[in-house]
């Protein structure tokens, strides 16, 4: 199999952050390219029937907080389950990643730092000054990327990513698609790893 891994996500998702490095490790081990595809999570949730955490039943809200701590421990990462700037609008950050993709730059480091900014450092990623600094810290031309992130090409890329995520049956963030099979959530990364390693054909709902 020579397929690429389509990485559908939004930068505000804690599970995107928690699974990010593991995805990179899997891709590197199997010599697979990752295609970074930030999307509008609200659009995907509208399709899949999900709701924002604050609108979920209390039992699910409580379980989510436990799960965040449990996953962080499992992945060996630091995470504040109740960060200062969550929820917030991730669109500007997502568009910066689109701008990096358009520019042919590696978006991996910046994507991770966005998650860390929210879930460990308590920074506001809707603040352009924060985005500028994070881009600079990763060695990017921050002014150029921020400028491109506001142009139609970047805005339309995120819209198109949302459409293709829905078409691929992505349920939420993150979702990984490999050879047409979708894996929803960082807790499915080990399944993705096994699929690539085994070389099996993609499973489908047509059984």
Predicted pLDDT of residue 93: 98
Encode burial over 7-33: b for 16+ CB neighbours within 10 A, e otherwise: bbbbbbbbbbbbbbebbbebbeebebe
Predicted pLDDT of residue 50: 85
Q: For residue 33, what pLDDT band results from cuts at 50, 70 and 90?
A: very high
Checking if the pLDDT of 119 tops 90, the result is yes
Q: pLDDT tens digit string along 166-186?
A: 999 999 999 999 999 999 999
Give the pLDDT mean for 109-119. 98
Domains in the chain with CATH codes? 5-198 (3.40.30.10)
Checking if the pLDDT of 1 tops 80, the result is no
Q: pLDDT tens digit string along 49-93?
A: 888 889 899 999 999 999 999 999 999 999 999 999 999 999 999
Predicted pLDDT of residue 2: 67
Q: How many CB atoms lie within 10 A of CB 205?
A: 5
Residues 40/9, Cβ–Cβ less than 8 Å: no
The model carries a pTM of: 0.96
Give the pLDDT mean for 22-43. 97
């Amino acid at each position: 199999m020579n397929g690429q891994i389509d990485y559908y996500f939004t930068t505000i998702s804690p599970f995107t952050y928690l699974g990010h490095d593991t995805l990179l490790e899997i891709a590197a081990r199997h010599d697979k390219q990752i295609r970074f595809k930030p999307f509008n999570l609200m659009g995907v949730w509208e399709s899949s029937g999900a709701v924002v955490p604050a609108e979920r039943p209390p039992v699910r809200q409580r379980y989510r907080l436990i799960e965040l701590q449990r996953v962080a421990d499992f992945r060996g990462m630091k995470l504040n389950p109740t960060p200062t700037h969550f929820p917030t609008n991730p669109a500007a950050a997502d568009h910066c990643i689109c701008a990096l993709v358009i520019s042919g730059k590696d978006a991996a480091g910046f994507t991770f730092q966005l998650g860390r900014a929210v879930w460990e450092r308590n920074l506001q990623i809707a603040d352009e000054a924060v985005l500028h600094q994070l881009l600079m810290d990763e060695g990017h031309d921050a002014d150029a990327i921020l400028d491109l992130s506001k142009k139609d090409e970047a805005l339309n890329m995120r819209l198109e990513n949302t459409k293709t995520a829905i078409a691929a049956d992505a349920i939420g963030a993150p979702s990984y698609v490999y050879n047409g099979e979708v894996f929803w959530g960082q807790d499915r990364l080990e399944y993705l790893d096994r699929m690539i390693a085994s070389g099996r054909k993609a499973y489908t709902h047509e059984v």
